[in-house]
A and B are shown apart, each in its own frame.
Chain A
């Protein structure tokens, strides 16, 4: 009895190991490919640093996000204020750090919500097909034909100025592309031989979707989500730059640039505009580098 049980355990472990082995090999190979691309490594490091700074801002930033010193307005960069001070005496360096919290957090939120919406809508559309597919895809067509930034603005205006509403405005614009992507993936995977094989072996629909199709579609989603973090930051900053979204005084990068422009940028006070803009650029660049690297590494056509 005992020996039988043992052999059962061993065979089960053996099977598990056997199943896992190709995945591990694949993963090691991915890491190996990633290591060969210095730009991707740089991107990962910078993105990690930015996320760290965003989380640690309360402990690193020398001043609070809305702390003002009315005796030190519009000072150029100095050891005391490395990025200078703004028109209301706020320390630009601290505000850029606090801004990372706002902008990066917002971008993660928007992308996560849109992924969820995309998976649900694209999943229904791709798997159900037929009438549902037709209706849902026409709806995404309408949203895609609508000018993105203008739609976000309209939502922001309709709901009122605030960071939450910027987030909602951006979510409304971004979900159709995910729905499209996921639907396309499901349609492409659904016709593949391994799905036919799984169906022939008697797997249920749910098992086919979640054990076979989703894992095989996860990489394009991951790439697209990473790239979109940068895009969402750009759009959010753009929206609050022209006066939608963030309330006056909030340490948000786009708003900081807009304030800097209003208070003497073309009379020589460049630091109020340059540093927040660099923060946006570097953050978006870092996430784009990661996404780009991931795409090159994960694209099976370029892989071998």
Chain B
């Protein structure tokens, strides 16, 4: 099957999933909308909420007085037209809020993924090469600790150590919350290009802003990367072990190649494939908003936004967030599958 056909087919297969998610969010808005029901998604403020005339107008405007299937039809139509409702948590229309919060999440996800990929692969390979030795047991314990770590607790401990205890001992400390120092942001405002602070400040040569955001991203990205690091290490270890038993590794060894070449040239490249897949999926997961980490570090991303929204039953936000996440998942899955074929030419799309 040609690549183009494959992509087309996958995109068509994604439609039922997205359709299902939209049904789920639509249903949710009717259940959780509270006493005024689904119109809650479009209410902008208290005045509108307590004014029956405006409520009626909104109901008319969004066809909420029609039978349920017609409501759904108009819901989808409005989604496609970019009317996603009003986010009370973000104090702006949902789509604008997503545009505002997504770059922060993206920044954090990229940073955390790089850390976990580099460290995770190193640990995993080391563990596999020295199987059943002390190093292996130690790294397995480290990676298992990562999988068992309550991320919000790790975040708090990091804040305690690198902010509180360094500060009271008069040492330079890392900021516990936020994305950039407020004073720096006032002094040297950033020209927004992509919304990614680190990239934008580098592009515009705004060094103080860059350093401040670098300082702020360290703790949350360490907290966030620990879990995925542990997962990557585990996957890397098991696929390395699998590959090391293959005949071509024995062949490479019997050719007289050094252990170094065997491991890094022959084994690592083949063992990397499952790791690539899972790293891609993890990145997709991180893009969907690291709810707990963002909450702890007051990181203004999608996850924190959605959590606040749920706590205040801001249904429009929850619906919008869910749809974005579903789209991200579907896209990331497709990209991962395509990349997979690129790294392993034996795989044919079909």
Which A residues are closer than 8 A to B by beta carbons? 38-39, 138-139, 141-142, 145-147, 149-150, 153-154, 157-158, 230, 234, 237-238, 241-244, 254, 257, 261, 265-268, 270, 273-274, 277, 280-281, 284-285, 287-289, 292, 301-302
Contacts and interface: CB of A to CB of B under 8 A. Distances in A.
Interface in B278-295: 288-289, 291-292, 295
Contacts of B292: 149, 238, 241-242
Contact of A281 (B21, B150, B291, B318): B150
Q: Which 9 A-B pairs have the closest CB atoms?
A: A284-B148, A277-B153, A142-B20, A285-B148, A145-B326, A147-B325, A153-B310, A280-B150, A145-B329
Given A145-B330, A147-B325, 14 more contacts: A145-B325, A147-B288, A147-B289, A149-B291, A150-B310, A154-B32, A234-B151, A238-B150, A238-B151, A241-B152, A257-B156, A265-B160, A273-B156, A281-B150
B160 A141 contact: no
Contacts of A154: 28, 32, 310, 318
Contacts of A287: 148
A77 B159 CA distance: 21
Interface string B91-111: 000000000000000000000
A281 B149 contact: yes
Q: Which has the most chain B C-beta neighbours within 10 Å: A147, A261, A267, A287?
A: A147
Interface stretch (B1-9, B45-53, B139-147, B186-194): B139-147
Contacts of B150: 234, 237-238, 241, 254, 257, 277, 280-281, 284
B324 to A, nearest CB: 10
Q: Which has the most chain A C-beta neighbours within 10 Å: B32, B147, B157, B311?
A: B147
B144 A157 contact: no
B313 interface: yes
Q: Is the interface of B mostly helix, strand, loop or mixed?
A: helix
A174 B307 CA distance: 20
Given A158-B31, A285-B145, A292-B144, A153 B307 contact: yes
A39 B140 contact: yes
Interface string B51-81: 0000000000000000000000000000000
Given A280-B153, A281-B149, A242 B307 contact: yes
Q: Which has the most chain A C-beta neighbours within 10 Å: B141, B151, B153, B306?
A: B153
Contacts of A39: 137, 140-141, 144
A193 to B, nearest CB: 24
Contacts of B28: 154, 158
B157 A277 contact: yes
Nearest to B288: A147
Interface in B296-321: 306-307, 310-311, 313, 318, 321
A139 B19 CA distance: 11
A157 B17 contact: no
B172 interface: no
B304 to A, nearest CB: 10
A67 B156 CA distance: 26
Contacts of B295: 242
B24 interface: yes
State which size class the interface on B falls in: 35 or more
Nearest to B167: A266
B310 A157 contact: yes
B191 to A, nearest CB: 32
Contacts of A230: 147-148
B161 to A, nearest CB: 10
25 contacts: A142-B17, A142-B20, A145-B330, A146-B24, A146-B325, A147-B321, A149-B292, A150-B318, A150-B322, A153-B310, A154-B318, A157-B32, A234-B150, A238-B291, A242-B295, A242-B307, A257-B150, A261-B156, A266-B163, A268-B168, A277-B150, A277-B157, A280-B150, A281-B148, A281-B149
Given A266-B160, A270-B160, A288 B322 contact: no
A303 to B, nearest CB: 13
Nearest to B18: A145
A242 B32 contact: no
Contacts of B313: 157
Contact of A145 (B17, B168, B307): B17
Contacts of A289: 144
Nearest to A296: B238
Interface string B201-244: 00000000000000000000000000000000000000001100
Contacts of A142: 17, 20-21, 24
B170 to A, nearest CB: 15
Nearest to A138: B16
A237 B156 CA distance: 14
B340 interface: no
A281 B147 CA distance: 9
B176 interface: yes
Given A266-B164, A281-B145, A238 B156 contact: no
Contacts of B307: 153, 242
